[in-house]
């Protein structure tokens, strides 16, 4: 089910049944974000902690979303990396913590409130589910060099781990009345580029 917000020039989220996982990009743009409206930012308004929690964006897309949340009047409250979600990984048999990118409470067009738990990922790194609900992993490389195979295996492992994280996030969100969704550059920039679900 799509989890979209219709206000403003930036469509909000994508269908989590379509965009279910992502691989990790090691080269990313990051920096500190200082909100112009700290009173509605959970990192600064002392509603979660008795101290300020600086905002670090870890991509230019996260920076855009920070700015959007800060200046959009229909975003009533938001925070960046303010929630830790425990999850168990079958990859290493250990418990871990997943840090959610964004938490938002918004006023929708009909006046009701929407509560969103958001992960930001590039569309080029998003994986898909097939019609049976199974993860579609990238195909093995044609050239079976050691480097190519290692890179492919790493992508598959990250996709699997992200799946574990995001399943835990969906359960966490549902239990608390939030909707978990993934936001790509298609939604950030309104590109409208589509990929068919496998």
Which domain CATH number covers 150? 3.40.1350
Residue 69 structural domain: 21-189
CA distances from 185 to 121, 123, 124 (A): 8, 6, 9
Tens-place pLDDT, residues 144-193: 899 999 999 888 887 888 888 888 999 999 999 999 988 887 777 653 33
- For the entire predicted model, the pTM comes to 0.76
* 5 has pLDDT over 70: no
- Compute the C-alpha angle 20/170/4, nearest 5°: 70
In a domain, 5, yes or no: no
Q: How many domains does the chain have?
A: 1
């Amino acid at each position: 089910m799509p989890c979209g917000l219709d206000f403003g020039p930036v469509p909000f989220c994508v269908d989590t049944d379509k965009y279910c996982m992502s691989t990790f990009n090691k080269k990313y743009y990051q920096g500190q974000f200082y909100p112009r409206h700290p009173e509605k930012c959970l990192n600064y308004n002392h509603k979660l902690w008795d101290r300020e929690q600086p905002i670090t964006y870890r991509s230019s897309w996260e920076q855009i979303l920070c700015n959007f949340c800060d200046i959009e009047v229909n975003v009533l409250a938001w925070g960046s990396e303010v929630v830790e979600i425990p999850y168990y990984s079958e990859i290493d048999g250990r418990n871990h913590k997943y840090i959610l990118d964004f938490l938002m409470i918004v006023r929708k067009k009909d006046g009701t409130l929407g509560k969103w738990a958001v992960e930001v990922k590039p569309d080029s790194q998003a994986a898909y589910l097939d019609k049976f609900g199974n993860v579609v992993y990238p195909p093995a490389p044609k050239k079976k060099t050691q480097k190519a195979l290692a890179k492919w295996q790493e992508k598959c492992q990250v996709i699997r781990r992200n799946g574990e994280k995001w399943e835990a996030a969906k359960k966490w969100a549902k239990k608390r009345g939030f909707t978990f969704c993934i936001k790509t550059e298609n939604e950030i920039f309104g590109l409208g580029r589509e990929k068919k679900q496998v």
